[in-house]
Amino acid sequence: MADSAVRDTASKSGPGASEHRSGLLALMLGALGVVYGDIGTSPLYSLQTVFRIDNGAVRPTSGDVYGVISLVFWSVTLIVSVKYVIFILRADNEGEGGVMALAALVRRVLGGVRGRAVVAMALGVFGASLFYGDSVITPAISVLSAVEGLKVSSPAVSHLVLPIAAAILTLLFLAQRWGTHRVGNLFGPVMVLWFAAIALAGLGEVVRRPRILLGLSPTYAGAFILDHPYIAFIAMGAVVLAITGAEALYADMGHFGRGPIRRAWFGVVFPALTLNYLGQGALILRDPKSVANPFFLLLPGWARLPMVILATVATVIASQAVITGAFSVSRQAVRLGFLPYLRIRHTSPREIGQVYVPAVNWILFIGVLALMFGFKSSEHLATAYGVAVTGTLIITTILFLVIARAQWRWPAWRLVLIGVVIGGAEITYFAANLTKVTHGGWLPLLIAVSVFTVMKTWERGREIVTARRAEKEGALPELVRKLRTAKVPRVPGTAVFPHPGKETTPLALRANLDHNHVVHEHVVIVSVTYENIPHVPREQRIVVDDLGYRDDGIVHLTIKYGFQDDQDIPGALRLAASQAEARDAELLDIDPDHASYFLSRGTLRLTREPGMSRWRKRLFLTLANNAASPAEYFRLPEGRTVVMGTQVEL
C-alpha cells in the first residue's frame, strides 16, 4: 500500500524522483508523529524505574550503570531493530499490520489445518485483549511522568501534578469526537523537535563522560547478569519499559509503509533514544542522586520547564496513538466477528482509518483516571506496566514463526535461532514482569482476560444464534420457487434485506410475506462477508447471483469487505449498479437512494439449551442488547429502514 507506492515512485527518475523523496519524507514525518510516540517517550520513566526497583537494588555504581545501559541498548536493538523493524514488518497482511491482522494472516495460511488456525486466531484475540490493558496504562503513565517534571523544575507546585495530568487527559478524551485529522499534521514536527531535544540533552552528558559509550558493549550486560542474577532478573522487568510501543511499528505499517517506518527508526528515533539513555547513565555516574529523575536532571535549570511542556505534548501524542490504536483494534474485532456492532464514527472525510468509537473512548477514559488516582505516580504505575506489553511480544513472535515456516518456508535452524534468541529474551521479560503481579501487574491481566472473555463469548454466541435462526428462516431457494408459483402480489419499489447468506430466507422477508402478503417489485438480499485481508479492491467487492431466475425481480448480492474497509450498504449498491455488465443491468435496475431497507431482528430468549454456560449466555444477551443498530453500522438511511423479526432461543 503506502510502501508499494513508494517503491513504484522510486523507480522513476527526474521529477518523479523528487516527488518520491518528498513523499518519503512526508511518510517518515507522519511515522515519527504517530508510530513512535509511545517508545519515544519511554526515556521519561524507564531508567528512573530501573534504579528504584526493590528499594534501590540496582545501585548507581559503574558496574550496575554500565550493565543497565547495556541491557537497555541491546533490548531495544534485539526486540525493536531486529525483530520488528527487520523481520516482523515483512509479515504484512495485504500491507496491514498488528497482532489481529497477523493472526488473520496465519488463519488464512493455515486454512486447511483448522485446529491450528483456531489456536492462532485465539492467540491474536488474546494479543488484542492485552493491547486494551496497555491502552489504559500508557496514557496514565506517559502524561503523569511528563507532568512530574514540575517536581524538578518548579517544586512549589508539586501538589498540582495529579490534577494537571487529569485535566490534560480529560481534554484529550473529550477531543476524540472531533478526530485527529485537524491536528495530525502537527504531530510529526513536534516529535521531530522532541527527538532532537532528547538527543541533545543526552549528547551533552556523553561528551562530558565519553566512557559511558562502553555501556554499548554486550559484555557489560552479561557481567551484570552473572554478578547479580536475581537483581538483573528483577531489573529486566523495568528494562522492558524501554521497548513499550514496539507493537505500534507493526500496527501502523498500513498507514505509512515499511520503508518510511524503517528509515525513521534508524535515522532518527534509535540514535536519539540511544544518546538519551547514554546521557542518563553518564549523569547517574556523575551524580548518584540524579536517580530521582535522571531525564529532567539532564537539563540545565532554565531548560527544565520548557522540556516539561514539550514532554507533556509528546506524551499526549503518544497517548493519542494508543487511543486511536484501541479504536482500530475494536473495529477490526467487530469485522472479524469478536465484538458486537459498535457505534463507529468516521472523523475524517478523506482517511477511512480515522475513526471514533464512543463506547471504547469512555471506557478507556474511566480506566485511565481510575488508574491515575489509584496509583498517584508514574513510579507506582510502572509496577503495573510491562505484563501486557511482554505478553503481546511473545504472541507476535509465535505467530510470526508460524508465518515464517508455513508461508516463507524458513529452515528449522533459522526458526530455532529466532525462537531461542528473541523468544527467549521475551519470555525472560515476561517472567520478570510476573513478579509485579501482586503489586499492580494483575490489572492489565485482568483487563485482558475480561476482554478476551467478552470476545470469545460473542463469537460463540453468534454461532449458536446463527444456527437457531437458520431453523426459523427456512431455505431461500424454496421461498423463491413459492413466490413464482403462488403469484404473490408485487408492490412497486425496491426492498433491500441485509442477511448473512443466500441459503436461508431473511426473517424480515418472511415476516413481510406472512403478515402483509406482498413482496416488493425488486428484492435485493445483501450478504456482507469479511475477508481475512485488510482491503478488498472495489472491482472484486460485489458478486451478483440471480438465484436461478432472471425474471422474478429477486437478486442476491455478496459484498466483500476487508477488516479495514468502510462498510456502507447503500454505497455498495451504488457501486454494484455502476459496475453492472450488460447482462446484469436489468437485475440491478435499482435505486439505492429510494429503496426501503428491512432489517431482520431475532429477539433473544434465554433457555437451558446446551452450547454455552448460563453466565456466558447472560453476557452475550447484555452485549447484544447494548450493540449499535445495524442500520447505523451499515449506514442505512434511518427514515427508510424497517426492523422486523421473531423470537430466537439462546
Task: Label each residue of 404-458 as H, E or C.
Answer: HHHCCCCCHHHHHHHHHHHHHHHHHHHHHHHCCHHHCCHHHHHHHHHHHHHHHHH
In this prediction, residues 240-249 reach a mean pLDDT of 82
Report residue 217 as a C-alpha cell: 558493549
Please list the alpha-helical segments (H only) found in 148-183: 150-153, 161-174
Contacts of 75 (CB under 8 A, 6+ apart): 239, 240, 242, 243, 425, 429
Confidence of residue 4 (pLDDT cuts 50, 70, 90): very low
Task: Kindly tell me if the per-residue pLDDT of 438 is higher than 60.
Answer: yes
pLDDT at 413: 92
pLDDT at 69: 94
Task: Kindly tell me if the per-residue pLDDT of 152 is higher than 80.
Answer: no
Task: Kindly tell me if the per-residue pLDDT of 270 is higher than 80.
Answer: yes
Task: Kindly tell me if the per-residue pLDDT of 350 is higher than 70.
Answer: no
β 345-346/542-545 pair status:
unpaired
Q: What is the dihedral of CA 14, 16, 18, 23, to 10 degrees?
A: -170
In this prediction, residues 105-119 reach a mean pLDDT of 75
Task: Kindly tell me if the per-residue pLDDT of 97 is higher than 80.
Answer: no
- The position carrying cell 531461542 is 420
Mean pLDDT over the full length of the chain: 81
pLDDT at 645: 64
pLDDT at 13: 43
Kindly write down the DSSP assignment for every residue of 88-136, as one continuous string: GGG--BTTB-SHHHHHHHHHHHTTT-HHHHHHHHHHHHHHHHHHHHHHH
301-335 vs 358-375: helix crossing angle, rounded to 10 = 140
pLDDT at 110: 79
Task: Kindly tell me if the per-residue pLDDT of 475 is higher than 60.
Answer: yes
Instruction: Please report which helix (H) or strand (E) contains residue 644, including its range.
Output: strand 641-649
φ and ψ of 598, to 5 deg: -115, 115
Nearest partner of 551 among 582, 509, 589, 597, judged by Cα: 589
User: Which burial class, exposed, middle or buried, applies to 64 when counting CB atoms under 10 A from its CB (0-12, 13-18, 19+)?
Assistant: buried
pLDDT at 332: 77
pLDDT at 118: 80
Task: Kindly tell me if the per-residue pLDDT of 340 is higher than 70.
Answer: yes
- The position carrying cell 478476551 is 452
CA 216 to chain centroid, in Å, comes to: 33
In this prediction, residues 487-499 reach a mean pLDDT of 82
Bin 547: left if φ > 0, else alpha if -120 < ψ < 50, else beta. left
Question: What global pTM score does this model have?
Answer: 0.77
Other beta carbons within 10 Å of 331: 21
Give the three-class secondary structure for 561: strand
Contacts of 309 (CB under 8 A, 6+ apart): none
Bin 100: left if φ > 0, else alpha if -120 < ψ < 50, else beta. alpha
Higher pLDDT, 590 or 327: 327
pLDDT tens per residue across span 626-639 = 777 777 778 888 77
Higher pLDDT, 298 or 148: 298
Task: Kindly tell me if the per-residue pLDDT of 460 is higher than 90.
Answer: no
In this prediction, residues 13-17 reach a mean pLDDT of 48
pLDDT at 583: 47
pLDDT at 22: 62
Task: Kindly tell me if the per-residue pLDDT of 200 is higher than 90.
Answer: yes
Cα(62)–Cα(41) distance, rounded to whole angstroms?
A: 25
The answer to whether residues 645 and 508 touch, using CB atoms and an 8 Å cutoff, is: yes
The answer to whether residues 8 and 1 touch, using CB atoms and an 8 Å cutoff, is: no
Cα(337)–Cα(100) distance, rounded to whole angstroms?
A: 12
Task: Kindly tell me if the per-residue pLDDT of 604 is higher than 80.
Answer: no
pLDDT above 70 coverage of the chain, percent: 88
pLDDT at 249: 75
Higher pLDDT, 602 or 118: 118
Amino acid at 588: L
Which residues face 603 on adjacent strands? 647
Higher pLDDT, 307 or 28: 307
pLDDT tens per residue across span 58-68 = 888 888 999 99
Contacts of 111 (CB under 8 A, 6+ apart): 117
2-440 fold:
Amino acid/polyamine transporter I (1.20.1740)
Which residues face 495 on adjacent strands? 523, 596
pLDDT at 586: 60
In this prediction, residues 479-506 reach a mean pLDDT of 80
Task: Kindly tell me if the per-residue pLDDT of 457 is higher than 50.
Answer: yes
Other beta carbons within 10 Å of 94: 18
CA 555 to chain centroid, in Å, comes to: 37
Q: How far is CA 330 from CA 257, 340, 568, 625, in A?
A: 22, 10, 18, 18
> In the chain, which segments carry CATH 1.20.1740?
2-440
Higher pLDDT, 211 or 114: 211
Contacts of 465 (CB under 8 A, 6+ apart): 602, 604, 648, 650
Higher pLDDT, 32 or 67: 67
Which residues face 1 on adjacent strands? none
pLDDT tens per residue across span 351-397 = 555 667 888 888 889 988 888 888 887 777 777 777 888 888 899 99
In this prediction, residues 591-609 reach a mean pLDDT of 77
Tell me 292's DSSP state: G
Cα(184)–Cα(34) distance, rounded to whole angstroms?
A: 8
pLDDT above 90 coverage of the chain, percent: 16
In this prediction, residues 41-49 reach a mean pLDDT of 88
pLDDT at 422: 92
Higher pLDDT, 144 or 116: 144
Angle, vertex CA 370, rays to CA 364 and CA 373, nearest 5: 140
pLDDT at 194: 93
pLDDT at 5: 37
Task: Kindly tell me if the per-residue pLDDT of 597 is higher than 90.
Answer: no
pLDDT tens per residue across span 207-239 = 999 999 999 999 999 999 998 899 989 888 888
Strands of 509-595 (E only): list them: 519-530, 542-545, 554-561
The answer to whether residues 266 and 411 touch, using CB atoms and an 8 Å cutoff, is: no
pLDDT tens per residue across span 506-535 = 878 887 787 777 788 888 888 888 776 667
